[in-house]
Structure 1
């Protein structure tokens, strides 16, 4: 479903963010991406739908390298959800935000409405179609941001710090939502309790390289490894 092959990326100021990252994620697999700030987690996620392009190496979605020719299809297939939902929600109403992607796919109005209804159902936000996103709670806006990518019927979800800033009830609702979604998923997070509950596999990034890739239970049970990578349960 998703494969990175010897991925390297250096920012224009000379900062080396990714240094030879290779990984594979299969259909339906849920993977946590953890590590200290500056490890390269967000940079990696931004490569998955072509927001950033590698200096060397390759990103392949369903065995096809990302290119200018297929970038629109890739962005429909890989749903990127940013840490701050306000970076994703810009329309006057929830309906218009969730409908934006399907409309730009050229779908008929009935198909667009069907996709919006289904996506809002999936995130538990049906009935909020006419609400203004900026009048909603952070947890509600995060759910709507996820709905904006679900309406594109992606095969892969890439989420950056989805539980950041949520109160306990909203966080619990997010965990239940992530459990319920069938898509392959790679999620950057510092929330190790969420990792334990949702993600069977964890990848640790350190200084732009993979330091660990294996069962989450193995990582969480190893106090020395958690200390080494600056992770806390």
Structure 2
């Protein structure tokens, strides 16, 4: 479903962010991406739908390297959800935000409405179609942001710190949502308790390299390993 092959990336100032990352994610697999700030987690996610392009190496979706020729298809298949939902929600109403992607796919109005209804139902936001996004709570805005990518019917979800800033009730709702979504998923997070509940597999990034890739239970049970990578349960 998703493959990173010897991925290298440096920022324009020369800072090396990713150094030889190799990773494979299967259909339906849920993977947590953890590590200290600056480890390269967000940079990695931004490669998955072509926002960033590697200095060397490849990103493959369904065995096809990302290229200018297939970038629209890739962005329909890989739904990117940013940490701050206000980076993703820009329309006057929830309906218009969630409909934006399907409309630009050229779908008929009936199909767009069907996709919006299904996406909002999946995130528990049915009935909010006419609401203004900036009047919603942070937890509600995050759900709507997820709905904006679900309406594109992606096969892969890439989420950056989805539980950051949420109160306990909103966090619990988000965990339940992520647990039940069927898509393959890679989620950058510092929330190790969420990792324990949702993600059977964890990848640890350290200074732009994969330092651990294995069962979450193995990592979470090893206090010395958690300490080594600066993680806390």
Range class of TM-score, shorter chain: over 0.9
Secondary structure, in 3 states, of the residue corresponding to 1:21? strand
Distance in 1 of aligned mates of 2:146 and 2:2:
20
Q: CA deviation at 1:62?
A: 0.3
Over residues 29-75 of structure 1, what are the superposed CA-to-partner deviations in whole Å (9 max), with x where a residue is unaligned? 00000000000000000000000000000000000000000000000
Secondary structure, in 3 states, of the residue corresponding to 1:57? strand
Q: CA deviation at 1:195?
A: 0.1
Q: CA deviation at 1:172?
A: 0.1
TM-score, with length taken from structure 2: 1.00
1:130 equivalent in structure 2: 130
2:84 equivalent in structure 1: 84
Q: CA deviation at 1:10?
A: 0.3
- Structure 2: unaligned runs, 5 residues or longer: none
Q: CA deviation at 1:220?
A: 0.1
Distance in 1 of aligned mates of 2:136 and 2:172:
18
RMSD over aligned CA atoms reads: 0.2
Q: CA deviation at 1:21?
A: 0.1
Distance in 2 of aligned mates of 1:228 and 1:151:
40
Secondary structure, in 3 states, of the residue corresponding to 1:146? helix
Distance in 1 of aligned mates of 2:38 and 2:51:
18
Secondary structure, in 3 states, of the residue corresponding to 2:22? strand
Secondary structure, in 3 states, of the residue corresponding to 1:54? coil
2:217 equivalent in structure 1: 217
Over residues 63-112 of structure 1, what are the superposed CA-to-partner deviations in whole Å (9 max), with x where a residue is unaligned? 00000000000000000000000000000000000000000000000000
- Structure 1: unaligned runs, 5 residues or longer: none
2:193 equivalent in structure 1: 193
TM-score, with length taken from structure 1: 1.00
Q: How many residues align?
A: 233
